[in-house]
Every structure is written in structure tokens, then in C-alpha cells.
A and B are shown apart, each in its own frame.
Chain A
């Protein structure tokens, strides 16, 4: 079940990931995408009919949870240490338009 996507598709996808692609980059991605799609038969060749996804390398359940005590707070200066635009202790951004959630 191979799939074909054009460069424009990847440009649009990149926008969702909050970056832009040049034409060359989009073409380059298309090439690798086609290679990957070409390799999917390698995955499909493995019968995983009754196999669960493996999400973690080890699946022994744990019981540890953190106690609800304050252990670590950083200063406001540290919180804002890596930005240049700050106003009264806040991170300052260009205006954010209202969004759904």
C-alpha cells in the first residue's frame, strides 16, 4: 500500500509543525518519504497479528510516585534567564490571538 505525496503536501505538513520548507527541502523530503514507503513492505513482512505494541523497553509495572512536597523551585530570574523580552516578570510575546483550547 504505497502512498504518493507531492512536495506541496510536505510544505503544508511542515507548517503544522511550525516551520517552513524551501522547495529543495520539500523535494528532498519527498525522496526520503518515497524510500520509506518503499521499505514498508519490510515491516509488513513481519507478522504482528497477535503482537502488542512495545512502548517501553521494560514492561514491569512500577509503583513509585512522588510525594507531594515542594522539592525544587527556580528563581524568577532563572526562569526568564534565556529570554530578552520580559515585562514585569512575564515572558512577553507578540499578541497571541484567541484560540480554541
Chain B
């Protein structure tokens, strides 16, 4: 879609305006947007060329945009207007993309449902009574509804890949360091990735080409050269080896998911791929959730200590500096955030670190070692991204730490532990609701990942699939 739009030079402005108007028209139904951008100024400054020239896009509301409010869906940042652009904003602008909106998300990206957003949840374009998943729900909804061909998200546990599955689109989390995090409001720095949504593998290739690359302002940013992903795309499956994540598939309960996934694996076999079930140590897989929970929240409580109302943000006055800080933070954070900060802080106490935070970091290494071992033999690890389609908005169990679906609904954090590239693509439907498949490949082998994605897209025919919002 990106290529067509880019080449439709005569209608660049019309395309952008249409996207903008469509987003506005759908706002009541989807609640996908926090702030609409000024498109006129951007259209007037369009570069002559660029891989995304004249392409309307959306940014998750944690991407710092100079002069454009950036709230991260938290009351504490409700009036915050950044004075600088994130690295990717520079890249996207230079490539000719036009930002139409900042999108809804879980508060400070700390959730998997989009329910914790200060302005209320985003609704799933396929069924407005259902969640988009989170935390990048607004971006997922706009892409799924066909408003924009690409939108930026971020992924700390599965915050791009889960909503992609629930919304029937492609959700890419490239290798850690592939895209600079400069100007992306953090959740947990060692797990945070910039990711994005598209409706086709080609668009995913073009987008990464634009977004990836070294940025000296992010010391964890990679120096590796950025390939022309589109050019290297090759959906031939002969000689490719797929490890099906046994720990996930054997715990699936939804017959639709099982059937769709198995059929797809068969189809890949038919195309020449070798598909084996590969079991990780079950104890290791069960430890992913508590390990993730601890690492993410320990880092988060520190990362968000800058939100104190002193230099920016929605300040609530107080008699003393301490009162001002406390009033601001008490008023500014939702209960879920406070809960996670408190528990994260507990894990960081000197007397607890060895048993909690550092133990989790050691488990992280064991998980990554196991992945490395698996990917020595296999080119990709695959499993359904979720057992069930998007839950209903009134599902109260969401975002609580729980023993249900310990592995199936939480395993994708493996991709964040390792930093390995991981992607969700649509694989089928359960009734009217889309189902997603997740795959993870070796570090910096996004090309391989896109090859698999392309093959699956050819098999399913789910290219440029749009939800009809009712």
C-alpha cells in the first residue's frame, strides 16, 4: 500500500487528508486517537522524494513530537508538549511520511489491554465490544481499520505483537538496537523496542528500511548496516527450518486456533519448509512471566522517577517541594501504574534484589540461552500469538498477574528478553475475529523473518486486510 501511495504523487495531499478525515470520523467508535496533528504544515514541507512520501502514518502517544502534545495516556503528562523530536520522527519526516495523529495506548505503555489509558480504551475495529490489546492499541486499530498503512508502536513484552494478533495485522518488533529509542518514552529500557504495524509484509520491509539505523544518541543502537529488506524478500520455503514452540501449542485450548495454526504449518511444509515441534524446558517457560514482570517493573519505577511535576507535566501544587511531587504523582498516575511501581520498587530494595530482580535477570539469561540453542538449528520459532481472539472490554481479569495461561499468553516476552526480531502476522479467524501467528528469528535477521511472513501472506492471502468498522 505504501508503494502505491508513494507513487500516487498527484494525490499525495488528497490521500493524507482522507486518512485524517477517516481517523476523525472513526474516533467516536474506536477512540484510537489522543491528539490529531497539524497535517497542513507537514504537507507544505513534503520532501521531493522519500520511501514514505505522502504516506499518512500515526504515532503511539509515547513518541516525542516537538510542539505536539505527548501524553503517553497518563494524566501526569496530559499537558506535556515536548521540545524535541524522537529520532524516528526525524527519519519518518525525512522519508516524507505525514503524521496524522498520536494514538491511544495503555498508560505509560504498562499494560496489555489498552484499558488503562487515561482517555479510555481503544475499541477493536473488528468488534467494538472487544479490546485491541495493548499497549499499542490505538496504532493497531488505525492500521486495521485501513486509516493508515503504517503506524508506530512500542513493544516491551508483546505490546506490538499482541494487538497485531487481535486486530488482524502485521506487527513487527525488530532486533533490539535496530531502531533508535531516542525520544521514545520508556517502560523498561532493557526490554523496550520501537515496533510498528502494517497490513502487508512489503510495507513492513519498506517501513523498517526507513526506521532502522544507527543513532549516536542511543548508545544501544546498532552499527550494522540496514539492508534493503524489500529487495531481499524471498518467500521460497525450501530448506527453511521452523521450530513450533511445543510448550505453547500443547497448552492451546481454542479449537479454531489449533486448526488454523496446524493448517498453516502444513501449508508451509508443502512449500518445502521443515516444521518440527520443539520443546523448551517447561519450568523455564513458566518462569518467563514472573521474570518479565519483575524486570519490567523494577526498571519502570526508576525510569519514571523523572515524572515529578517540576520541569514539565500536569503539576498539582503543594506547600513544599515534597508535597508538590507527591500531589502531582498521586494525581498523575492511575492505580495500575502505582501498583507496578510499588512492586517494582520492592524488587529493587537491596535486601530483595538478589532474590527478585537479579534472580529474574538470571532466568532471563537461561531463556535466551535456550532460544539461542534452538535457533542454531532452526530459522524461526513459531506459535500462535494468543489462544483466543481479542477479549471483551469488560473482561476484568486482564492485566492482573495470574496463573491462567501462564505460558500461552505471556511467552512472547522471550523476544524482549533476547532482543531477537519477532513479528506477528494474521493467520486466520475465529468467527469474525482475527487470529495471529508469532515468529522469532536470529538477531538482525529481519530478512529471514520477512521471508516467512511473505510465504504465510501468500498462503493465507491476508494482504491489505481491513476491518469494516460497524
Contacts and interface: CB of A to CB of B under 8 A. Distances in A.
Given A13-B345, A33-B346, A82-B313, A54 B361 contact: yes
A40 B356 CA distance: 8
B338 A19 contact: yes
A94 B323 contact: yes
Interface residues of A, number: 51
B400 interface: yes
Interface string B317-358: 111111111100110010100110111011000000001101
Given A48-B359, A94-B324, A14 B338 contact: yes
A4 interface: no
B403 interface: yes
Contacts of B287: 42-43, 45-46
B321 A13 contact: no
B237 to A, nearest CB: 28
Contacts of A57: 176-177, 190-191, 368, 416-419
A36 B361 contact: no
Interface string B245-273: 00000000000000000000000000000
Contacts of B355: 1, 40
B283 A45 contact: yes
Contact of B368 (A1, A29, A54): A54
A81 interface: yes
A55 interface: yes
A66 B216 CA distance: 8
Nearest to B416: A57
A43 B418 CA distance: 18
Centre residue among A13, A58, A64, A96 by max chain B CB count within 10 A: A58
A35 B321 contact: no
Nearest to A34: B401
Contacts of B326: 15, 18-20
Contacts of A19: 326, 329-330, 333, 338, 341
Nearest to A26: B342
Interface string B382-423: 000000000000000000111100100000000011110000
B9 interface: no
Contacts of A25: 335, 338-339
A62 B402 CA distance: 39
A42 B286 contact: yes
A82 B283 contact: no
A64 B401 contact: no
B365 A52 contact: yes
A28 B283 contact: no
Interface of A: 1, 10, 13-21, 25, 28-29, 32-33, 35-36, 38-40, 42-46, 48, 51-58, 62, 64, 66, 74, 78-79, 81-84, 91, 93-97
Given A17-B342, A45-B287, A46-B287, 8 more contacts: A25-B339, A57-B177, A57-B191, A74-B84, A79-B83, A82-B80, A91-B311, A95-B320
11 contacts: A13-B346, A19-B338, A29-B342, A36-B401, A40-B355, A42-B290, A43-B291, A51-B366, A53-B364, A94-B323, A95-B321
